[in-house]
Amino acid sequence: MSIAVRQNIAETYRFLDSLAKADILDEGKTNTYLIAALEMIGPCLITSVRSDHGDDSSLGPHGHSSGFAADIWPNDDTSDLAIARFLESLIANTYVWTIGTGGLAQGAYALVTPPKDDRMIVFPDNTTNHIHIQAANKYGSGLRA
């Protein structure tokens, strides 16, 4: 993914931590497919990427520690319906292979039509408001089309 795309994300998305922004800009810390997924999502709040996330390498090769995952949240409206729409956009995003629902997103997921692609993994995450996305899982990476 071009540095211009990475810079656009760094400049137009919101970040909880400057380490996450630095990770987005560093090709050695974030996978190209994750950047493509974020570009398709559009501006949102990025709550964690790699350097500002704990080591999750024991969970497999496609998490935060290997640069395939980010934790995100909708920018403004956090009603159940708005979160459900955001989740539906993530399910439709052909670069997103795994979604974890945290906090309010767990309840909002009940309003979502589950993915039809049996290669997509959706799991309940912890109680913190965030949505975990991965640009890969045990079934593959790249375009999920």
**pLDDT tens profile 121-142:** 999 999 999 999 999 999 988 8
For residues 54-72, average pLDDT: 93
Quote the CA–CA distance of 55 and 59 in Å, as a whole number. Answer: 9
Q: What is the signed CA dihedral for 131, 77, 26, 30, rounded to 10 degrees?
A: 20
Helix spans in 3-141 (H) = 3-12, 18-25, 32-41, 80-92, 104-108
Parent domain of 91:
3-141
Is pTM beyond 0.85 here? yes
Task: Give me the number of domains the chain comprises.
Answer: 1
Cross-strand partners of 46 = 15, 72
pLDDT of 37 above 80: yes
How many residues are listed for the chain in this entry? 145
pLDDT of 145 above 80: no
